[in-house]
Amino acid sequence: MKWIRCVAACVVSLGLVAVGSAVAGAISVNVPIYKQEQTQWCWAASSKMVIATVAKKYPSQCDVVKKGF
- Size of the chain in residues: 69
Backbone dihedral angles phi then psi of residue 39, each to the nearest 5 degrees: -65, 145
CA distances from 66 to 8, 18, 34, 39, 55 (A): 16, 29, 18, 15, 18
CB-count burial class (<10 Å; 0-12, 13-18, 19+) for 67: middle
What is the pLDDT at residue 9? 56
pLDDT digits (tens, 9 = 90+) for 8-66: 655 555 655 555 455 566 778 889 999 999 999 999 999 999 999 999 999 999 999 99
Q: Which of 22, 20, 3, 13 is nearest to 64 (CA)?
A: 3
pLDDT of residue 61: 95
The full set of domain ranges for the chain reads: 1-14+34-69
State residue 40's pLDDT score. Answer: 92
